């Protein structure tokens, strides 16, 4: 097969691992910096270009879209979809997963446990909103934040009110701020479940090293291999399915009322390989080998 990895970081561990495994399997692999690609949109001729050359002949793409480039990256993925190229992650699923509000709505509908969440444009009595969450402390987070950078713990009702006011000033369309119940039983700890094709490939616990309530590795957290309970495994798989992601990292917290999903990452990092010793790159290439062929077959029948 000819496989394209859409990645702006050819030196990234995940990109290198995918390339290595694909080459070992005898595939042809190109790493494409999608930020330098462009699309030409014309009747019956969807095309992606790089450096003056049309990108043609690919059997499959593996999008590794950075969250800072969601819109542009997903547009390029969509353009490959327009050509009928198989992608392990659809452009729609990427966009969905990058919006925590949209994700929470989809997860909740599918019956996946999530922290109690409230959204408002502002202008509503904040006591009312905070009341829905059982009072302070509460979490206030940006719908499009990453690496723990857009998440605030407001310890008191007073603090929550002023943080909310400040956030709402910056939230022109009213959909970028989530208020969440603070899951205190799990403060500073969460679980990353790496899923490929409806199977859990690896899972790790992330713990903040200081007294930060955020466990993101980018905030100095540390990972450790963990065994999931049955309920956690089922919850993570259901979350992946409801987001339409065959490759993803589901983040969940252990709470007194069972696992609660925080987010589903459509470009999960491969650092989990080092923590758990599991080979996620091979699981991904395996999955693509089976499913890209299947989709080609399907296309031929449908033609
Ligand atoms: N409702 C919550 N209760 C307790 N801790 C939380 C809650 N939401 C987030 N956190 C902590 O903050 C971290 C970052 O939150 P998350 O929603 O995953 O945003 P990001 O996309 O920035 O990683 C989580 O890994 C978790 O440790
Ligand atoms: Mg997170």
In a domain, 95, yes or no: no
User: Atom 4, ligand 1: which residue's CA is nearest?
Assistant: 183
Kind and range of the H or E run holding 207: strand 199-208
The ligand placed nearest to the CA atom of residue 143 is 1
Q: Could you report the per-residue pLDDT of 28-50, keeping only the tens digit for each?
A: 999 999 999 999 999 999 999 99
Task: Tell me the CATH number at 148.
Answer: 3.30.1490.20
Domain boundary pick from 149, 165, 182 = 182
In a domain, 276, yes or no: no
Instruction: Name the H helices within 25-90.
Output: 70-82
In a domain, 33, yes or no: yes
Q: Could you report the per-residue pLDDT of 66-108, keeping only the tens digit for each?
A: 999 999 999 999 999 999 999 999 999 999 999 999 999 999 9
pLDDT in the model for residue 297? 62
Token pair belonging to 283:
């699981």
Domain boundary pick from 182, 198, 215 = 182
pLDDT in the model for residue 122? 82
Q: Is residue 48 domain-shared with residue 83, that is, in the same domain?
A: yes
CA distances (Å), origin 205, targets 4, 12, 213, 240: 31, 22, 14, 18
In a domain, 100, yes or no: no
CA distances (Å), origin 286, targets 22, 196, 247: 9, 10, 12
The ligand placed nearest to the CA atom of residue 191 is 1
User: Atom 12, ligand 1: which residue's CA is nearest?
Assistant: 214
d(CA 160, CA 144): 19
Q: Which residues line ligand 1 (CB under 6 A)?
A: 115, 139, 141, 145-151, 180-183, 187, 190, 213-216, 251, 262-263
Report how far ligand 1's centroid is from the alpha carbon of 265 (Å). 13
Q: Which domain holds residue 154?
A: 116-182
Report how far ligand 1's centroid is from the alpha carbon of 219 (Å). 11
Side-chain half-sphere exposure of 253, counting CA atoms within 13 A: 22
Report how far ligand 2's centroid is from the alpha carbon of 286 (Å). 27
In a domain, 191, yes or no: yes
Which residue ranges of the chain lie beneath pLDDT 70?
Answer: 296-303
Q: At what angle do helices 280-302 and 13-24 cross, to 10 degrees?
A: 60
- For ligand 1, what atom is nearest to the CA of residue 150? 22
Burial class (CB in 10 A: 0-12, 13-18, 19+), 54: exposed
**How many domains is the chain built from?**
3
In a domain, 274, yes or no: no
**Cβ atoms 126, 161 nearer than 8 A:** yes
In a domain, 123, yes or no: yes
pLDDT in the model for residue 211? 86
In a domain, 235, yes or no: yes
Task: Tell me the CATH number at 25.
Answer: 3.40.50.20
Report how far ligand 2's centroid is from the alpha carbon of 146 (Å). 6
Nearest to 164 by CA among 126, 197, 135: 126
Report, in angstroms and rounded to the nearest whole number, the Rg of the chain calculated over CA atoms: 20
Q: Is residue 9 domain-shared with residue 80, that is, in the same domain?
A: yes
The distance from CA 45 to its chain's CA centroid, rounded to whole angstroms, is: 30
- For ligand 1, what atom is nearest to the CA of residue 182? 3
- Reported pTM: 0.95
Kind and range of the H or E run holding 61: strand 60-63
Domain boundary pick from 140, 158, 182 = 182
Instruction: Name the H helices within 10-69.
Output: 13-24
pLDDT in the model for residue 123? 81
Nearest to 182 by CA among 211, 204, 152, 210: 152
Q: Is residue 50 domain-shared with residue 85, that is, in the same domain?
A: yes
Report how far ligand 1's centroid is from the alpha carbon of 100 (Å). 11
């Amino acid at each position: 097969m000819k496989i394209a990895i859409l990645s702006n970081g050819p030196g990234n561990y995940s990109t290198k691992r995918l390339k290595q495994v694909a080459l070992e399997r005898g595939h042809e692999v190109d790493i494409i910096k999608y930020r330098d690609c462009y699309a030409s949109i014309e009747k019956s001729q969807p095309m992606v270009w790089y450096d003056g050359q049309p990108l043609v002949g690919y059997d499959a793409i593996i999008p590794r879209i950075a969250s800072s480039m969601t819109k542009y990256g997903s547009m390029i993925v969509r353009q490959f979809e327009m050509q009928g190229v198989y992608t392990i992650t659809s452009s729609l699923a990427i966009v969905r997963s990058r919006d925590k509000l949209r994700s929470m709505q989809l997860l909740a509908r599918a019956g996946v446990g999530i922290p109690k969440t409230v959204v408002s444009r502002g202008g509503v009595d904040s006591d009312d909103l905070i009341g829905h969450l059982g009072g302070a402390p509460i979490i206030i987070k940006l719908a499009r934040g990453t690496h723990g950078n857009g998440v605030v713990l407001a310890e008191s009702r007073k603090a929550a009110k002023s943080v909310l006011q400040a956030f709402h000033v910056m939230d022109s369309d009213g959909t970028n701020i989530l208020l969440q119940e603070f899951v205190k039983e799990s403060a500073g700890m969460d679980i990353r479940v790496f899923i490929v094709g409806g199977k859990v490939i690896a899972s790790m616990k992330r713990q903040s090293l200081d007294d930060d309530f955020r466990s993101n590795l980018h905030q100095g957290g540390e990972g450790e291999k963990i065994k999931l309970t049955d309920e956690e495994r089922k919850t993570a798989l259901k979350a992946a399915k409801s987001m339409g992601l065959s490759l993803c990292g589901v983040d969940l917290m252990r709470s007194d009322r069972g696992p609660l999903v925080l987010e589903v990452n459509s470009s999960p990092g491969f650092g989990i390989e080092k923590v758990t010793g599991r080979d996620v790159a091979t699981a991904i290439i395996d999955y693509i080998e089976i499913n890209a062929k299947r989709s080609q077959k399907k296309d031929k029948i449908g033609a």
